[in-house]
Amino acid sequence: MPKIALRGVTVDFPFQPYQCQEEYMSRVLECLQKKVNGILESPTGTGKTLCLLCSVLAWREHLRDAVSARRIAERAPGELVLDHTLSSWGAAASDGDTPACYADLPKIVYASRTHSQLTQAIGELRHTSYRPRVCVLGSREQLCIHPEVKKQESSHMQIHLCRKKVASRSCHFYNNTEEKSLEQELAATILDIEDLVRRGNEHSLCPYYLSRNLKQRADIIFLPYNYLLDAKSRRAHSIDLKGTVVIFDEAHNVEKMCEETASFDLTPHDLASGLDVLDQLLEEQTKAAQQGELHVEFSSAADPGLHLELQDIAKLKTILLRLEGAIDAVELPGNHSGVTKPGSYIFELFAEAQITLQTKGCILDSLDQIIQYLAGRTGPWTSTAGLQKLSDIIQIVFTAEPAEGVPSSMVGPGVSQSYKVHIHPDVGHQRKAQRSDAWNSTAARKQGKVLSYWCFSPGHSMRELVRQGVRSVILTSGTLAPVSSLALEMQIPFPVCLENPHVISKQQIWVGIVPKGPDGAQLSSAFDKRFSDVCLSSLGKALGNIARVVPHGLLVFFPSYPVMDKSLEFWRAHDFARKLEALKPVFVEPRSKGGFSE
């Protein structure tokens, strides 16, 4: 493989890079060496992911060489030997940023929007000469292989049932993961999500906890970027970002994700379903206490350490009722448009329900224990989605240090600027007409109100990320322009910016309209013509002629799936499919793995 020297770092690249690829890798290295953030745009097809991986891993190897050089120099006696040893390693040894030991080498956190995109990135890594220790993080929904956990309807129920089985050591997949130490063997293998699940099934190991164990030793961690932007997910996956290099690939969706992960809508149905669960739980435990039990605690047979007092459940119910009442008490205009208030109003509203910075820890602990206690149960009242949503909401509201002018009891960063509170009628759901309630018997209830807490600044989540102590943040995609506007929205400095040209020259591009097929018939996707035999036949003939002269295949876009399906159906029926397949394979994406002959 060609070796390219860029900014004092030798990069192994699979082939001789284009000028725009060298420029891209140089900017990546600039971010890493200067410990600054960067926004790097490079058009689709310019090998962006390959450039990114090669440059980042080359820089990390450069630092590893520097550590080796220092260790050798320190063992060698005499200043002359020290100077000679250091100079023989070149720039690697003289870098003032050299870590003290191998364990201090910065981890690379590589994030993309979906796991399919991460799988593609891992595939690109396999094409390089670099073999770092790799870990890919996923959810239990993707990685769990326990039959009982997998069949749970919601992800949060999977989480809590998994935790219950792990705590009681009743999951043999998890137990095997602890007993069989395969991390060292697997750390040298580049595995994606499917590989982890396959290895888990082969060795009866839990892929989810196996990936968490691999994370401790990994040089590069692949994960979806909501795991980074959502503070709850960061905590759940124990992601330590101090000193790491954080890369957001396909970052054109980061702005939207930043706002969505920091926002919520709390509906009357959420509160009502949570109250239903608490009502039934109180009734169940009260009956158990009346039947002669000496204490008013409940525990799970699978997890004897899980317990709460009836008083704690009753307090939690009171909090939900007060929150429901506080939201309902907000006066709305008569036109059903709702009312909008400053972001700081959320703390006033929550304080009326006794949800504050001081009480949030106890509330979250009680919610977590109840949800875990009910995990795996079946029945009409065991849906804990409402309680889980309340837990998530509390963590969003009380997520960071107090903003200027906000009391310490009302924690929330920049709420007056980043957020708005909107309360509006619940037009999507009707409140349950009746609800079993031993303490508050109200048979009929009016339509409720939705509490919305909306973040209007992607910079809110990005500042929180930087606050974790990251070394550099790199945003990269094929479409980020205008870069200056994106940098302003993110509200963190981006000293390094790049808008790369495409590798294809103007002489290699032709854009035009083909109005007629080879038989003279008009080609049109107009509604009254798109499905006519004449148009479909002529389009098939045109593609056949083009395929004969264009090397290495065609990529054909249709205006919609129905048009694509109808075209393929017609071509199969009239033998066009066989003729095209004879020229080269034709693949239909994304709904089919095969070509015309499925």
Strand arrangement, sheet containing 264-266:
264-266, 449-455, 419-425, 339-342
Q: Render pLDDT for 370-386 as a digit per residue (tens, 0 to 9).
A: 888 887 666 655 678 89
CA atoms within a 13 Å half-sphere pointing along the CA-CB vector of 130: 28
DSSP class per residue in 263-327: -EEE-HHHHHHHHHHHHHHHHHHHHHHHTT-SS-EEE-SS-TT-EEEHHHHHHHHHHHHHHHHHH
Residue 79 domain-assigned (yes or no): no
Is the same domain home to 244 and 353?
no
Return the minimum-mean-pLDDT range out of 6-15, 423-432, 583-592.
583-592
Q: Give the pLDDT score at 447.
A: 65
CA 438 to chain centre: 42
Is the same domain home to 492 and 590?
no
User: What length does the chain have?
Assistant: 598
206, two tokens: 């839990």
Q: Give the pLDDT score at 441.
A: 36
Residue 83 domain-assigned (yes or no): no
Question: What are the E-state strand segments in 117-273?
Answer: 134-136, 220-224, 245-248, 264-266
Three-state SS across 28-70? HHHHHHHCCCEEEECCCCCCHHHHHHHHHHHHHHHHHHHHHHH
Is the same domain home to 42 and 173?
yes
**Rounded CA gap, 298 and 305, in Å?**
10
Is the same domain home to 129 and 216?
yes
Question: What are the E-state strand segments in 127-243?
Answer: 134-136, 220-224
Q: Give the pLDDT score at 592.
A: 42
Is the same domain home to 241 and 158?
yes
**Rounded CA gap, 532 and 515, in Å?**
16
Residue 411 domain-assigned (yes or no): no
Q: Give the pLDDT score at 315.
A: 92
Is the same domain home to 230 and 136?
yes
Q: What is the CATH number of the domain that holds 16?
A: 3.40.50.300
**Rounded CA gap, 518 and 542, in Å?**
6
Buried b (16+ CB within 10 A) or exposed e, 477-501: bbebeebeebbeebbeebebbbebe
Is the same domain home to 122 and 189?
yes
Buried b (16+ CB within 10 A) or exposed e, 34-72: eebbbbbbbbeebbbbbbbbbbbbbbbbbbbbbbebbeb
Containing structural domain, residue 542: 512-597
Query: Tokens 């989540």 belong to which residue?
Result: 461
**Rounded CA gap, 111 and 118, in Å?**
8
Residue 20 domain-assigned (yes or no): yes
Three-state SS across 467-534? CCCCCEEEEEECCCCCHHHHHHHHCCCCCEEEECCCCCCHHHCCCCCCCECCCCCECCCCCCCCCCHH
Beta bridge partners of 420: 342, 454
Residue 552 domain-assigned (yes or no): yes
- pLDDT at 93 > cutoff 70: no
Is the same domain home to 214 and 283?
no
Entry pTM: 0.77
pLDDT band at 405 (very low <50, low <70, confident <90, very high): very low
Beta bridge partners of 220: 108, 134
Nearest Cα to Cα of residue 11 among 42, 21, 497, 20: 21
pLDDT band at 190 (very low <50, low <70, confident <90, very high): confident
For the chain, the first-to-last Cα distance in angstroms comes to: 38
Average pLDDT, the chain: 81
- Which one-letter DSSP state was computed for residue 17? P
Region 6-10: mean pLDDT is: 93
- pLDDT at 413 > cutoff 60: no
134, two tokens: 């790799």
Residue 592 domain-assigned (yes or no): yes
Is the same domain home to 221 and 274?
no
Cβ atoms of 264 and 282 closer than 8 Å: no
Last residue of a domain, one of 499, 525, 554: 499
CA 598 to chain centre: 33
Residue 110 domain-assigned (yes or no): yes
Residue 214 domain-assigned (yes or no): yes
Q: What's the number of domains the chain is made of? A: 3
**Rounded CA gap, 588 and 598, in Å?**
9
Q: Give the pLDDT score at 319.
A: 94
Q: Render pLDDT for 109-143 as a digit per residue (tens, 0 to 9).
A: 999 988 888 999 999 999 999 999 999 999 899 99
Q: Render pLDDT for 248-281 as a digit per residue (tens, 0 to 9).
A: 999 888 898 889 988 999 999 999 989 998 988 8
Is the same domain home to 360 and 247?
no
153, two tokens: 């309807």
Region 516-537: mean pLDDT is: 89
- pLDDT at 430 > cutoff 60: no
Tell me whether residue 248 is exposed, middle or buried, using C-beta atoms within 10 angstroms of its C-beta: 0 to 12, 13 to 18, 19 or more: buried
pLDDT band at 316 (very low <50, low <70, confident <90, very high): very high
Is the same domain home to 253 and 331?
no
- pLDDT at 406 > cutoff 60: no
Angle between helix 483-490 and helix 459-466 axes, rounded to 10 deg: 70
- pLDDT at 597 > cutoff 70: no
**77 Cβ neighbours under 8 A, 6+ residues apart:** none
Cβ atoms of 138 and 115 closer than 8 Å: yes
**Rounded CA gap, 193 and 197, in Å?**
6
Last residue of a domain, one of 474, 499, 524: 499
**Rounded CA gap, 229 and 463, in Å?**
10
pLDDT band at 307 (very low <50, low <70, confident <90, very high): low
Q: Render pLDDT for 336-369 as a digit per residue (tens, 0 to 9).
A: 788 999 999 999 999 999 999 999 999 999 998 8
Is the same domain home to 276 and 312?
yes
